[in-house]
Chain A
């Protein structure tokens, strides 16, 4: 084939493709998308300490995939989601991410569930130029400086989960305004990034609201017997016990503290925000407050529809992690729709997708969704409290400043 004929074919192909795209409506090139598969991945903690959060993120994301594929896909392309369980372990998380990027050739992936794992996974995704969207990590230095202490902004790392640097201060501020507590004790799992970051934020925040932090009691997330720490906290008779920890630990602390006769207020972070923890805490958790990125009772359509669909699919209520997982996948799908993917050049497609993610603007269960210039989420914060029966009640709504 000579050059002129090759050029002719190229022009003809482009013309056909351009004609086809007029019917797409979404800005993408529908003809080239049709019948193709868009590969996304997720590295989540389905088991281990993060096992109380990961499964909901997975279920939320899978629901989004099902909805999108059922309604014609992304410009006609079907989404394929590969979910990997990192067992809440940093090394496994990094290894699973590597597999998704290099073997499965995903265009982008969600996760990992835990901030502790994100410090290993996000720099890897950045170096392999693959977009990663954090759907539950809330620690410090997730975005934009994923390679902290290096301060160069990470181009490929995004987050749709509300950072603890926003959530914890909002929660403390709201409670201080309501009840004017004087003293507090902090119980913090010292060997986990999410938890220790939360602890640092509490320590930095309390003074602004005239709360005297009587003691910080660190413990290990692997300690099965938490009673000596709870006893230490209770004996100081604080107005507030701050808990920054993962998994079932907050519930165990609440139960032990109530059993020891303590009547004060529990304040916590994102670790509280799942029905699993609220259920485990039971009556002992009644009134325990946290700031959440999402509230089940919100009446706007994108949330109501999500809640109904989730209940139909899984016969249970969604939680914040499900909402963020669902939103995460919708963000990736929206970006893919606008990215003019080629389906032949993975590296090029990843770059196009990355650029498209930056300009996402969709309605989500979390509310209207956009990224800040540093790839973080900007949204309303919902102050919620456990209702003693495995659910939550809305206490305050804090608009994004």
Chain B
């Protein structure tokens, strides 16, 4: 059982890190950025290609991978969100445009084969690949009865540190105050002299960088990188996590991520693998009945 709890913490960390980026955008824009799962995948895919095809060191590759994801945040803002915001389109329009972008990103990577238009980005098509052995040192430590893979252990401090930094920035810095002001009332923020568009762009860049990092960690720890890792593994779960934690709440997303990891693993151990996919939804339903605003939510959102 103990090892299973370790397993739950590992997978929970990835869910949490992914969901933090998700919830950040929602908290500030009241918009669900459904391209976030594609950005998650893009981070992992870019890093993999740089390591395997271009022979880069993992650390360099992952920095570029995160940068590429952050850049995709800019694309999301400029292509999917800003034009709609200008026209005062309802949030559902933005939701749909992000779904569209996600499909485009996944399809582009999926088409990446030797000799194709996207072969500079990805050459494995729909295949699932793993970083070659030895890309990063990955010893296994044995503590008591537990075995801990370095690649998984490192996820926990990285996730927690990043989330703490983000929490600090949001609460105590000028930028954080600006972001919160935009979240509270964009028009008032603009009247106070804040560059709202810049704040929103910043939010998407930070959120996407976190998503990309989560993707890279996922690829390293689980040895599974394909165009579909975002869609299949974190998209719906991430949604469940942020509803669970309270939409827009960063601590909520963190706790929600770990909670979902735990509930999933317990369900697998108790009932078998067939229930795994359904657990996220079951938890979601239960919580929506008992506490519709989520664990850490303060008010009920009207949209979405």
Contacts and interface: CB of A to CB of B under 8 A. Distances in A.
Nearest to B234: A224
Interface string A215-256: 001111011110111011011000000000001100010010
Interface stretch (A44-52, A289-297, A298-306): A44-52
Contact of A248 (B130, B149, B232, B274): B130
Contacts of A235: 3
Interface stretch (B19-27, B76-84, B120-128): B120-128
Contacts of B133: 282
Nearest to B265: A228
Contact of B222 (A225, A232, A259): A225
A280 B224 contact: no
A51 B127 contact: yes
Contacts of B269: 228, 232
A98 interface: no
A261 B147 contact: yes
A227 B10 contact: yes
A357 B232 CA distance: 43
Given A88-B126, A224-B222, A224-B232, A259 B140 contact: yes
Nearest to A231: B3
Given A229-B273, A248-B128, A261 B142 contact: yes
A85 to B, nearest CB: 8
B147 A47 contact: no
Contacts of B229: 224
B125 A259 contact: no
Contact of A224 (B147, B224, B273): B224
B149 A259 contact: yes
B39 interface: no
Nearest to A235: B3
A355 B276 CA distance: 49
B223 interface: yes
A124 B125 CA distance: 27
A361 interface: no
Interface residues of A, number: 33
B11 interface: yes
Which residue among B124, B140, B229 has the maximum number of chain A CB atoms within 10 Å of its CB? B140
A46 B3 contact: no
A248 B128 CA distance: 8
A260 B126 contact: no
B33 to A, nearest CB: 22
A190 B149 contact: no
A323 B220 CA distance: 33
Contact of A49 (B3, B10, B113, B128): B128
Contacts of A255: 223
Contacts of B223: 248, 252, 255
Give the contact-size bracket for chain B. 20 to 34
B7 interface: yes
A83 to B, nearest CB: 14
Interface in A252-278: 252, 255, 259-261
Nearest to B268: A228
B298 interface: no
B110 to A, nearest CB: 9
B155 to A, nearest CB: 12
Contacts of A228: 4, 7, 265, 268-269
A48 B227 CA distance: 10
A87 interface: yes
B40 interface: no
Contacts, number: 78
B266 to A, nearest CB: 9
B140 A190 contact: no
Interface string B1-22: 0011001001100000000000
B3 A218 contact: no
A247 B130 CA distance: 12
A70 to B, nearest CB: 25
A259 B223 CA distance: 14
A368 B268 CA distance: 47
Contacts of A190: 273-274
A282 B223 CA distance: 13
Interface in A327-381: none
A49 B129 CA distance: 10
A364 to B, nearest CB: 29
B48 interface: no
Contacts of B232: 222, 224
A48 B133 CA distance: 21
Contacts of A222: 232
Nearest to B125: A47
Given A224-B224, A228-B269, A48 B274 contact: no
B273 A280 contact: no
Interface string A77-97: 000000000011000000000
Contacts of B113: 47
B122 to A, nearest CB: 11
Contact of A218 (B10, B124, B126, B274): B274
B258 interface: no
B185 interface: no
B128 to A, nearest CB: 6
A47 to B, nearest CB: 4
Interface of B: 3-4, 7, 10-11, 113, 124-130, 133, 140, 142, 147, 149, 218, 222-224, 229, 232-233, 265, 268-269, 272-274, 276-277
Interface of A: 46-49, 51-52, 87-88, 190, 217-220, 222-225, 227-229, 231-232, 234-235, 247-248, 252, 255, 259-261, 280, 282
27 contacts: A46-B125, A47-B127, A48-B126, A51-B125, A51-B126, A52-B127, A217-B273, A218-B273, A220-B274, A222-B232, A224-B229, A224-B232, A224-B233, A225-B7, A225-B222, A225-B233, A227-B7, A227-B10, A228-B4, A228-B265, A231-B7, A248-B223, A248-B224, A252-B130, A259-B140, A261-B142, A282-B133
Given A220-B274, A225-B7, 17 more contacts: A48-B127, A49-B128, A51-B124, A51-B125, A51-B126, A218-B273, A220-B273, A223-B276, A225-B233, A227-B7, A228-B268, A229-B268, A234-B3, A247-B128, A248-B128, A248-B223, A248-B224
